[in-house]
C-alpha cells in the first residue's frame, strides 16, 4: 500500500477537479438546515454557497473545521462537491482532533450503506475514496474512527483498491 499523503492529495485533486456544486446543498445551506432555519435564511445561505465557493478547492480549512457536521444535511451532489475538500483536510489535520475528520469518514461510510451518494462517482473518484479510507486506517485509532473506516471499506469501497 502506498502511503504517500501528498500523492494521495494530488490524486484527490485530479479525480474531483471538475466537480461543481450545481444544484446541490452546500455548506451554508446545510448549516441553516441543521439550525432548522426558515425558508428565507435557507435561500440566502444557498446563494452564499454559490458566491463564496465556485470550486470545492476554494473551501478554506477554517470553514471545514467549523462546519464539521454539514454533510449530514447535504444531498448527494453536495457531498460529492464537498468530500474532496474534507478528505484533504482530514489528511492534513487528522492529528488535531477536529470532528471534521471523523464526519468525513461517516459521510463516506453512510454512502457505503446503500444511499445513492457513490452512484454519482467515477471509478477514479471511488479509487481515491478507498485509498483515503485505507490511509485513515493506517494512521490509526489514536487519531480517527477506524471502526467506521474499516466498515466502509468492508461494505463497499475495498473493491476499488
Measured distance CA(41)–CA(8) in Å, rounded? 37
Closest by Cα among 124, 129, 120 to 152: 129
pLDDT averaged over every residue in the chain = 91
Terminal-to-terminal C-alpha distance of the chain: 9
Q: What is the pTM of this model?
A: 0.92
Q: Given this model, what pLDDT does residue 66 score?
A: 97
> pLDDT by residue (tens digit) across 46-99?
999 999 988 999 999 999 999 999 999 999 899 999 999 999 999 999 998 889
DSSP string, 62-99: HHHHH-TTGGGT--HHHHHHHHHHHHHHHHHHGGGT-H
Coil, strand or helix at 117: helix
Coil, strand or helix at 141: coil
> pLDDT by residue (tens digit) across 100-130?
999 999 999 876 544 555 568 899 999 999 9
Whether 135 has a pLDDT exceeding 60, the answer reads yes
| Domain residue ranges of the chain, discontinuous segments joined by + | 6-160
Q: Given this model, what pLDDT does residue 113 score?
A: 45
> pLDDT by residue (tens digit) across 148-157?
999 999 988 9
Measured distance CA(136)–CA(40) in Å, rounded? 39
Q: Given this model, what pLDDT does residue 31 score?
A: 97
Coil, strand or helix at 22: coil
Amino acid at each position: 500500500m502506498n502511503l504517500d499523503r501528498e500523492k494521495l492529495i494530488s490524486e484527490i485533486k485530479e479525480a474531483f477537479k471538475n466537480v461543481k456544486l450545481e444544484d446541490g446543498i452546500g455548506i451554508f445551506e446545510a448549516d441553516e438546515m441543521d439550525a432548522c432555519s426558515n425558508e428565507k435564511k435557507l435561500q440566502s445561505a444557498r446563494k452564499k454557497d454559490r458566491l463564496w465557493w465556485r470550486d470545492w478547492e476554494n473551501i478554506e480549512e477554517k470553514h471545514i473545521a467549523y462546519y464539521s457536521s454539514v454533510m449530514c444535511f447535504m444531498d448527494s451532489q453536495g457531498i460529492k462537491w464537498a468530500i474532496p475538500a474534507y478528505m484533504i483536510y482530514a489528511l492534513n489535520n487528522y492529528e488535531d482532533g477536529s470532528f471534521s475528520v471523523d464526519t468525513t469518514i461517516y459521510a463516506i461510510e453512510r454512502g457505503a450503506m446503500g444511499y445513492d451518494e457513490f452512484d454519482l462517482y467515477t471509478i477514479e473518484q471511488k479509487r481515491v475514496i478507498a485509498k483515503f479510507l485505507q490511509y485513515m486506517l493506517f494512521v490509526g485509532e489514536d487519531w480517527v474512527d477506524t471502526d467506521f473506516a474499516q466498515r466502509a471499506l468492508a461494505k463497499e469501497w475495498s473493491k476499488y483498491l
